[in-house]
Structure 1
Amino acid sequence: MKIARIEIGGVVKYGVVRNDYVVIINDLLRPAESGELYKLSEVKLLAPLQPQAVFCALVNSPLMLGARNKEEAREMLGAPKFFLKLPHIVIGPNEVVIAPRSGIRPEAELGVVVYKKLKYATVREAEEAILGYTVFNDVTAPGEFKHDFYYAYRRDPVDGVVKKQLIRGPHFRNKNRDGFAPMGPWIVTPEEIGDVLDITLRSYYDGRLIQEGKLSELIYSPIELLVELSKIVTIPPFSVIATGTPGYIGVEDPSEYRLPAMRTVMAVEADKVGLLENPVEVENFSN
């Protein structure tokens, strides 16, 4: 089942997508049909939900980490790493992303939508909490990360000496700008997906394919991410957990990889889930 969140006549509704139509439902969790039927071309597709929280896996692929294989990557990471995106920066299909002049890049990811609260979840509990999957674009502005760097006196773990060191700081200015969390075009329920690890993720910028990789290539699976995250914090109902992105085609060091800010279209897609497109405009702020 494909569940969409739409706007029609200024009213927001949920519906089940069937070919080129959407059938309105009364409840997201109990999708009884209301009888209302619209053509997809007649409605505006919104982000498929307004999430309570957006958790993102950091460097969850060997290529993004610079590792030779998954085994080395697991040893290097030690455990899944996470950062947050603010829920209010989530946008839907065809909404504009504003690129800072320093550049931008899409990051194709699978968004796992959970509808139950999770804390210290077992594998089975994590699986049962999944409402479905959506396409998530972890839009990043690598050139802005340097503005969160700072110097501090810290003890060097190698020699034990307190010294002035460059600290990379949080992923904030590069990750949490308005519109930097496109999501959609709908939620696809698990029975339509089958083995989620077979899904291939891709991203495009200005019509050029820049990413392609399977979820099976990620260091930690979606279920492993849910279980680990629930050990750290309570995952509230209707949260989205983004699984991490594959590397970039032909790019040796993806951490600094960026594309020029320009008026164009960026797109990310996940097989069996959908294609999510967003126009890009260039930031007009002059300071």
Structure 2
Amino acid sequence: MARLVTRVRADVRLDGVTLLAPVPRPGKILGIGLNYADHVAESKMEPPTDQLWFAKMPTAVTGPFSAIEIPMVSDALDYEAELAFIIGRRCRHVSKSDAHKFIFGYCAANDVSVRDWQFRTTQFLLGKSFDTHAPFGPWIVTADDINDPHELPIRCFVNGELRQKSNTRNLIFNCYAQIEHLSKVMTLEPGDVIFTGTPGGVGWGHKPPRPLRSGDRVRVEIDGIGAIENLVRTETKSH
């Protein structure tokens, strides 16, 4: 993972730079669904007995303060505030007790979702993989600077209105259990990004649903890590 990290001078002013995604093209972006009890309840689903995984394509990555787009083919855009972690060492068949050794660090993330495409079939991939729909950052806080990744307050605001408020202690399957489970199936490699699930309060949990609109601002905050904030805009056709 060290080869993916660019060393910069500590005195660079943040207001003089544009922060890009800390891992611009991950080999894998994996997300777990239904991983907070209140989100399970608002989704009208049964609590999971096993981990529910989907992928987001690497082309969905965008910067922590870059725009996210309402796609031309849908207006069912939703937010999901999440803790994300970055794999730091190649691993396979890792126990839960050893899993922490393979995490490089943590980010705030928004698992932006296009709900009609997500639920069009039983496979979530397309609804999770539109371009610009995987902002995370604003940087990677290394694992040695996080005392306990399962005691982090997490919040989401839309235009300053608090929509989601929880704590990572409420994860049904915690970060280490996620690594144990995934590594039974596949090799996890440095730079892979894992989205750990969202708490209740998503737009589609409201009655009626509250989709994101052009001009909205979505902010995800995690104490001890930082915040990302993305302007919502309508996609324009590129050539």
Same fold (TM over 0.5): yes
Q: Hey, what's the Cα distance between the residues in 2 that align with 1:203 and 1:253?
A: 14
Aligned to 2:68: 97
Q: Hey, what's the Cα distance between the residues in 2 that align with 1:66 and 1:211?
A: 14
Asked if 1:179 corresponds to 2:140, the answer is no
Gaps of 5+ in 1: 6-12, 16-21, 24-36, 150-168
Q: Hey, what's the Cα distance between the residues in 2 that align with 1:79 and 1:99?
A: 32
1:253-272 map, 5 Å: 253=205, 257-272=209-224
Rate the CA distance shift 1:256–1:199 in 2: closer, same or farther, 3 A.
farther
Q: Hey, what's the Cα distance between the residues in 1 that align with 2:135 and 2:165?
A: 18
Shift of residue 106, structure 1, vs aligned partner: 1.4
Q: Identify which of structures 1 and 2 has the higher relative contact order when contacts are C-alpha pairs closer than 8 Å and 6+ apart.
A: 2
Q: Hey, what's the Cα distance between the residues in 1 that align with 2:128 and 2:148?
A: 29
1:124-143 map, 5 Å: 124-143=97-116
Rate the CA distance shift 1:198–1:257 in 2: closer, same or farther, 3 A.
farther
Rate the CA distance shift 1:48–1:223 in 2: closer, same or farther, 3 A.
same
Q: Hey, what's the Cα distance between the residues in 2 that align with 1:231 and 1:254?
A: 36
Between 193-202 and 254-263, the greater mean CA deviation after superposition: 254-263
1:48-87 map, 5 Å: 48-50=22-24, 51-66=26-41, 76-87=47-58
Q: Hey, what's the Cα distance between the residues in 1 that align with 2:184 and 2:210?
A: 34
Asked if 1:188 corresponds to 2:141, the answer is yes
Q: Hey, what's the Cα distance between the residues in 2 that align with 1:254 and 1:244?
A: 18
Q: Secondary structure at 1:113's aligned position in 2?
A: strand
Rate the CA distance shift 1:198–1:89 in 2: closer, same or farther, 3 A.
same
Aligned to 1:214: 167
Q: Hey, what's the Cα distance between the residues in 1 that align with 2:93 and 2:135?
A: 29
Contact 2:82 2:111 in 1 (8 A): yes
Q: Hey, what's the Cα distance between the residues in 2 that align with 1:201 and 1:255?
A: 23
State the 4+ residue runs in structure 1 displaced beyond 6 angstroms.
Answer: none
Aligned to 2:191: 238
Q: Would you tell me which structure has more strand in proportion to its own residues?
A: 1
Shift of residue 257, structure 1, vs aligned partner: 4.2
Equivalent residue pairs, number? 229
Larger Rg: 1
Gaps of 5+ in 2: none
Aligned to 2:177: 224
Residue identity matched to 2:31: C
Q: Hey, what's the Cα distance between the residues in 2 that align with 1:252 and 1:183?
A: 21
Contact 2:61 2:133 in 1 (8 A): yes
